[in-house]
Structure 1
Amino acid sequence: MNDNRNNLTGEVLAYEAIHGAGGAVVHLDPAASGAGDKEYDEDDVEYFAGERNVLDAEEETEAITESTPKASGGPALWEPTTGQDSVNSEAAPKPVGMYPHARRVGDLLYLSGVGPRQPGTNAIPGGPISDEHGKPLNYDIKAQTQAVVDNITRILEEAGGSIEDVLDVTSFLVDMDRDFSGYNEVWANTLGKVGPTRTTLAIRALPTPIAVEMKVIAKAPKSN
């Protein structure tokens, strides 16, 4: 046989002439010296199974659209979601997901996590903690913390309140050992004078290359 097939041996079991040709019944055995030890239909075949979930991906793209530009070194930015109780401010940085800047529930305002990014430019005061390749950079935790407080103030003012309305803060630091002292100093000069309760947690990372974020609960201003 050819180089791509087995070498075969066997015997003719029956033969009969048919219209100038012939038909035979044969018994074949592959020889041990066969080139590939394959049956006739066992040649290697390349095939393409296609990409999975293509239609699902297109539907999701049509249903949910992200805004641009992306946060420096982070995910795409979104327009804040709107609703009857939502509070959003053009003076605050855009969210990195589908949520509002704040939501009013009864006599309270619940703010989404607030970082130091600047509205419009997405610049990070004090510099990002890493570059676009993840390489660590030097940064100023005091400048970042002050920018967080400023963004909180803008959101509260959009709701008709002020920084004086803050009741409770949960802070997140990506490097507690390095940054707690500087963060604490800015706190003492700003929110510390207001007197909210506070919890400070160490975490591994935040969605954008920032060192600090705060989650705030505040008194909601009385409706007119």
Structure 2
Amino acid sequence: MSSEPIVTDDAPRNDNPYSQGVRAGDTLYVSGYGPVDPETGEDVKGDVQAETEQVLENIAATVEEAGGSLDDVVKVTVYLTDLDDYDRVNEAYGEQFAEEPPARVCVEVSRLPDDVRVEMDAVAYLG
């Protein structure tokens, strides 16, 4: 099986050695995104809910570029620098995944790039 990198200007891009997403057959693996506005390249300012909303927009843009939508996401990993933010992240997350939420893992980490508070990666099934 071959894989195909997914590239979109609607999600943050950088010079680091990884793809925004990689499609392998019917499965799309979306790299971890922080709350970076793809138009400005800057982190979104505001509370952790605003950061979470931007992270999910970045994931959605990558999934859409591969021909899917957030409805196709089957697994998400959430990385938080403070588990005290868990409830506020869940509020923003729940707005995007209200009907049939994907499987999920949430872990507290000591630090994320650019000292943001939340990052997520995802797996989508595009079959």
The TM-score, its normalising length taken from structure 1, stands at 0.53
Deviation of 1:123 (Å)? 2.4
Asked if the contact 2:75–2:123 (Cα under 8 Å) also holds between the matched residues in 1, the reply is yes
1:162 is matched with which residue: 60, 69, 72? 69
More strand by share: 2
3-state SS of paired residue (1:169): strand
Cα RMSD over matched residues?
1.7
Q: 1:86 to 1:199 in 2, by over 3 A?
A: same
Identity %: 35
SS, match of residue 193 in structure 1: coil
Q: How far, CA to CA, are the matches of 1:110 and 1:142 in structure 2?
A: 24
Report the counterpart of residue 93 of structure 1 in structure 2: 12
Aligned match of 1:115:
34
Cα deviations by residue, 1:147-201 (Å, 9 ceiling, x for unpaired): 1111111111111111110000010001112x11110111111124341001100
**3-state SS of the aligned residue for 2:67?**
coil
Matched, 1:147 2:66: no
After TM superposition, the structure 1 = structure 2 runs for residues 26-41 of structure 1, keeping only pairs within 5 Å, are none
Aligned position for 2:92: 186
Structure 2 unaligned residues grouped into runs of 5+: none
User: In terms of mean alpha carbon deviation, does 181-190 or 164-173 score higher?
Assistant: 181-190
CA contact (8 A) 2:52 2:89 kept: yes
Give a deviation string over 1:197-224, Cα, whole Å, max 9, x none. Answer: 011000011112311011100012x5xx
- Segments ≥4 residues shifted beyond 3 Å: none
Q: Give the secondary-structure state (helix, strand or coil) at the position aligned to 1:167.
A: strand
More RCO (CA 8 Å, sep 6+)? 2
Greater radius of gyration (CA): 1
Residue 76 of structure 2 aligns to a residue whose secondary structure is: strand
Contact kept, 8 Å, 1:169 with 1:196, in 2: the verdict is yes
> Structure 1: any 5+ residue segments left out of the alignment?
1-82, 128-138
Q: State the TM-score, normalized to the length of structure 2.
A: 0.91
- Structure (1 or 2) with the greater helix fraction: 2
Give the 3-state SS of the residue equivalent to 2:36 in structure 1.
coil
**CA positional deviation for 1:86:** 0.4
